[in-house]
């Protein structure tokens, strides 16, 4: 049996690591890993392969940055060549990035079965590129591996036959459970020192801090949303707590474009660090009084670690992580008044870890077994 798995961007890497490991239990499976190359910087890609012992990709399609059509189109053209040369039994795609969508379409057009890990998530926000990717991939896939029961219900409501929907849990939590001890041993001050953005002064030792990430186009690409949010971080949050901001290349570019970069970099309580590796980010999360983020993955990690979280989005495809469902996160969109109220409520909140059903560290094993049994 031959399986081709596809990764393209940072959030895919922590999901594919346990899947690669789980497949080793099946020597009859030939497993090839394809990297589309959407993320290519060492800090966005290679460091995760090294830290999580992911096998080197057998093929890198070298797609790089570009518009959505450019990325999806180039990926389909290059991935089709791989599928034609290898003729796998299964193409396995993960998450909701452009690689997920491009390679599921390509697989099905080549009459190859497709399995989607992290199926059934729905934000119902069609302005989100990831929602488009999820809908296309789930519509085409032959096996849909859902992380929670809400996602299973979403798929059933869309008419996906029950035998294709497999409730297996959240594969990212496999990685969290495997790596958390290693992360816990790291020192936050050392993480900050060794990842500081050039030109940023090293802060004094951080006994407590707020963590921040932001990268979604809806938050960072427009002046109207980015400027008030950054003013809130600098004028209100940084006035009370050091803020460690792990800055995504997209956000860095837009801060410079809107003339905010110098002020952000010079603020004594704003600690700007480069994109962090897996263990460093997990350690930062474990020690944060509060996490402000627009990342779905971090929202899930906050839920399991119990870190109070402000999700800077109006909707979420991961409702299971919200406080009303027992999780750690509050949706605040990009309205400063909402951020402020939730910040006040959450900064004083105790850590309260929550573990949704089957987020138990064994999701990849369940997925590998089902695919192998399916044949
Ligand atoms: C992509 C995913 C998003 C995911 C995010 C995590 C899609 C549609 N979006 O968004 O779901 O949450 O990854 O990071 O697939 N850049 C670099 N170095 C890199 C990669 C990108 O500098 O290695 C810069 C480029 O200027 C690029 C920009 O970041 O134009 C955005 O990268 P892109 O791959 O288009 O999307 P992300 O915003 O990272």
Among 335, 338, 296, residue whose Cα is nearest residue 316: 296
61 in a domain, yes or no? yes
Predicted local confidence at residue 355, as pLDDT: 95
Task: Give yes or no: residues 124 and 68 share one domain.
Answer: yes
- Using a 10 angstrom Cβ sphere, with 0-12 exposed, 13-18 middle and 19 or more buried, the burial of residue 289 is middle
pLDDT digits (tens, 9 = 90+) for 200-256: 999 999 999 999 999 999 999 999 999 999 999 999 999 999 999 999 999 999 999
Q: Return d(Cα 340, Cα 143) in angstroms, integer.
A: 42
**How far is the centre of ligand 1, averaged over its atoms, from the C-alpha of 39 (Å)?**
6
Task: Give yes or no: residues 200 and 320 share one domain.
Answer: yes
Q: Report residues whose beta carbon is within 6 angstroms of any ligand 1 atom.
A: 9-11, 38-41, 44, 65, 96-98, 129-130, 215, 248-250, 253
Task: Give yes or no: residues 212 and 153 share one domain.
Answer: no
Domain that holds residue 284: 179-346
Predicted local confidence at residue 265, as pLDDT: 96
- Residue minimizing CA distance to atom 22 of ligand 1: 249
Predicted local confidence at residue 348, as pLDDT: 86
- Residue minimizing CA distance to atom 33 of ligand 1: 65
What is the arrangement of strands in the sheet containing 290-293, beginning at the earlier edge strand?
Answer: 270-273, 243-246, 210-212, 290-293, 309-311, 329-331
Q: Return d(Cα 374, Cα 22) in angstroms, integer.
A: 16
290 in a domain, yes or no? yes
Predicted local confidence at residue 186, as pLDDT: 98
Task: Give yes or no: residues 208 and 335 share one domain.
Answer: yes
Low-confidence ranges of the chain (pLDDT < 70): none
């Amino acid at each position: 049996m031959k399986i081709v798995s596809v990764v393209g961007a940072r959030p895919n890497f922590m999901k594919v690591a346990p899947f690669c490991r789980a497949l080793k239990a099946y020597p009859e499976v030939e497993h090839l890993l394809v990297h589309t190359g959407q993320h290519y910087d060492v800090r966005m890609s290679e460091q995760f392969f090294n830290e999580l012992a992911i096998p080197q990709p057998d093929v890198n399609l070298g797609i790089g940055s570009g518009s959505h059509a450019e990325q999806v189109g180039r990926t389909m053209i290059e991935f089709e060549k791989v599928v034609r040369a290898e003729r796998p039994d299964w193409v396995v795609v993960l998450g909701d990035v452009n690689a997920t969508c491009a390679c599921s379409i390509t697989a099905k057009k080549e009459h190859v079965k497709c399995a989607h890990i992290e199926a059934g998530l729905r934000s119902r926000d069609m302005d989100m590129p990831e929602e488009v990717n999820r809908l296309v991939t789930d519509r085409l896939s032959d096996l849909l591996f859902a992380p929670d029961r809400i996602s299973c219900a979403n798929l059933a409501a869309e008419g996906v036959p029950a035998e294709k929907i497999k409730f297996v849990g959240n594969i990212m939590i496999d990685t969290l459970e495997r790596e958390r001890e290693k992360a816990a041993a790291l020192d936050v001050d050392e993480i900050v020192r060794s990842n500081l953005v050039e030109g940023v002064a090293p802060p004094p030792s951080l006994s407590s801090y707020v963590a921040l990430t932001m990268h979604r186009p809806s938050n960072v690409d427009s002046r109207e949303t980015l400027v008030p949010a950054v003013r809130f971080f600098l004028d209100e949050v940084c006035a009370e707590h050091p803020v460690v901001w792990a800055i995504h290349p997209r956000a860095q570019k837009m801060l410079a474009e809107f003339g905010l970069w110098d002020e952000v970099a010079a603020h004594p309580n704003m600690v700007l660090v480069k994109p962090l590796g897996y263990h460093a980010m997990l350690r930062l999360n474990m020690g944060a009084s509060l996490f402000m983020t627009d990342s779905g993955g971090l929202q899930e990690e906050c839920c399991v670690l119990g870190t109070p979280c402000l999700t800077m989005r109006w909707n979420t495809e991961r409702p299971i992580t919200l406080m009303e469902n027992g999780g750690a996160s509050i949706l605040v969109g990009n309205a400063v008044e909402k951020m402020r109220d939730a910040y006040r409520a959450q900064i004083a909140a105790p850590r309260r870890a929550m573990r949704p059903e089957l987020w138990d560290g064994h999701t990849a094993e369940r997925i590998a077994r089902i695919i192998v049994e399916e044949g």
